[in-house]
């Protein structure tokens, strides 16, 4: 069967978006499928704006990115008796037909070329260790239709990818519903530059009530950070985690917003984001116009530091002077600043001589145990 393609090749920004999706889905699947103890039998993945599944050059779109990451877990899914369920939704009829054809080709190829017996033994798609359901519906009414079923079991693991076109789909109501699901991580796309330009227009304000004065017109490349803050103000749970990733496409800034109720989800997303952007973990371009990143070294040493990392170091050390902090406190502080655990541990190691460290357990000198629900007996305070 001939492959059906997206009408054009994916641009660089789209490829960055898909790479971030791939890295996060890889970590997410590992957490919920490879856990030694099974706490859940049902695992759900939703791609609500699936597209055709690949571009005109055959590069995988989001549905095939997800399937390629999932198929390596087939033996474990069979062994543990898990029910992994995928939903691919595409409202446009011609694109929907291409999507179904490309997914069908994926399963045919998987059965013939897979190294896993559980895949080769699947005579039909229905016998696959995971199930795929297709839908061809407009997002908002469709989400309203299925949300009550989700709300009845909010603790089931769910990942949602919402690659909307523009800004209209992730309304305040949809956002509140997404953040209310306890074990649901989501990643959605938004046209941030358009919000900056047209935020005062009434037809925009029915979807996003972002104020024009929130944007710094001298730094248009920061517009996605403004969008993140807008959504942060809507979060009702103070322990909910949101993170941005800005994507430049020609002159426009687009972006991804990640959300999770669990710090482990935030940790995995930040690991993926920093893998792509090793300077700020936040963009596919030099978002803070750091001279050291662009190769324009300054005569002043303070200008030859990456601003985000330098600011985090100063904030962390200042925060440590306020009171004694546990390793768990530092972990949460690090995530809330959009940084990886390794950033915090590197700073602590560098400043170990000026830190007051107490513990009830033996630890290796200069080593810091940071993590979710770790041993809390390590306490750190910076000496003045």
From first to last of its 384 residues, what are the pLDDT tens digits of the chain? 344 445 689 999 999 999 999 999 999 999 999 888 888 899 999 999 999 999 989 999 999 999 999 999 998 998 999 999 999 999 999 999 999 999 999 988 887 877 776 776 665 555 678 899 999 999 999 999 999 999 999 999 999 999 998 888 999 999 999 999 999 999 999 999 988 888 888 877 888 888 888 888 888 899 999 999 999 999 988 889 999 999 999 889 999 999 999 999 999 999 999 999 999 999 999 998 876 665 555 545 555 567 899 999 999 999 998 888 888 889 999 999 999 999 998 998 888 888 887 765 555 555 566 765 555 557 777 776
Give the model's pLDDT for residue 140: 95
Give the model's pLDDT for residue 1: 35
Give the model's pLDDT for residue 4: 46
Dihedral sign computed on CA atoms, order 240, 174, 226, 342? positive
Instruction: Set out the domains of the chain in order of their start, with CATH numbers.
Output: 12-287 (3.40.50), 292-382 (no CATH)
Whole-number Cα distances in Å, 179 to 14, 187, 232, 265: 25, 12, 11, 13
Whole-number Cα distances in Å, 69 to 85, 179, 346: 14, 25, 31
The edge-to-edge listing of strands for the beta sheet with 325-326 is: 325-326, 379-382, 355-358
| Pairing state between β 158-162 and 42-47 | parallel
| Cα(251)–Cα(193) distance, integer angstroms | 9
Give the model's pLDDT for residue 127: 65
| Cα(304)–Cα(293) distance, integer angstroms | 9
Q: Is 232 helix (H, G, I), strand (E, B) or coil?
A: helix
| Cα(274)–Cα(255) distance, integer angstroms | 15
Give the model's pLDDT for residue 5: 46
Q: What is the reported pTM?
A: 0.90
Neighbouring residues of 238: CB distance < 8 A, sequence distance ≥ 6:
none
Whole-number Cα distances in Å, 163 to 48, 56, 90, 160, 168: 7, 19, 11, 10, 11
Give the model's pLDDT for residue 237: 87
Q: Which helix (H) or strand (E) holds 100?
A: helix 93-113
| Cα(200)–Cα(125) distance, integer angstroms | 49
């Amino acid at each position: 069967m001939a492959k059906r393609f997206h009408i054009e090749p994916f641009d660089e920004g789209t490829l960055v978006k898909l790479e971030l999706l791939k890295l996060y889905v890889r970590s997410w699947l590992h957490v919920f499928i490879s856990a030694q103890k099974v706490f859940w039998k049902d695992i759900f993945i939703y791609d609500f704006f699936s597209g055709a599944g690949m571009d005109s050059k055959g590069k995988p779109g989001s549905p095939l990115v997800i399937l390629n990451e999932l198929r390596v877990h087939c033996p474990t899914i069979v062994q543990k008796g898990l029910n992994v369920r995928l939903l691919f939704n595409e409202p446009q009829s011609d694109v929907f037909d291409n999507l179904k054809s490309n997914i069908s080709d994926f399963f045919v190829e998987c059965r013939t070329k897979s190294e896993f017996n559980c895949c080769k033994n699947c005579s039909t798609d229905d016998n696959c260790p995971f199930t795929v359901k297709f839908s061809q519906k407009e997002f908002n009414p469709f989400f309203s239709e299925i949300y009550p079923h989700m709300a009845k079991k909010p603790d089931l693991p769910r990942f949602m990818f919402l690659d909307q076109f523009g800004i209209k789909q992730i309304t305040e109501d949809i956002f509140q519903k997404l953040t209310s699901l306890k074990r649901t991580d989501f990643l959605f796309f938004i046209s941030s530059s358009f919000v900056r330009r047209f935020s005062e227009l009434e037809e925009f304000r029915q979807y996003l009530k972002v104020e024009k004065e929130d944007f710094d017109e001298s730094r248009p490349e920061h517009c996605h950070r403004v969008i993140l803050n807008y959504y942060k103000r809507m979060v009702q749970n103070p322990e909910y985690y949101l993170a941005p990733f800005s994507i430049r496409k020609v002159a426009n800034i687009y972006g991804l917003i990640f959300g999770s109720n669990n710090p482990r989800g935030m940790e995995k997303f930040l690991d993926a984001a920093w893998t792509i952007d090793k300077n700020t973990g936040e963009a596919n371009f030099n978002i803070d116009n750091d001279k050291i990143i662009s190769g324009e070294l300054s005569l002043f040493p303070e200008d030859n530091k990456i601003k985000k990392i330098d600011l985090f170091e100063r904030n962390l050390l200042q925060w440590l002077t306020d009171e004694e902090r546990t390793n768990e406190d530092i972990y949460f502080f690090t995530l809330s600043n959009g940084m990886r655990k390794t950033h915090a541990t590197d700073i602590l190691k560098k400043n170990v001589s000026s830190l007051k460290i107490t513990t009830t357990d033996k630890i290796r000198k200069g080593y810091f145990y940071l993590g979710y629900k770790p041993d809390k007996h390590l306490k750190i305070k910076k000496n003045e």
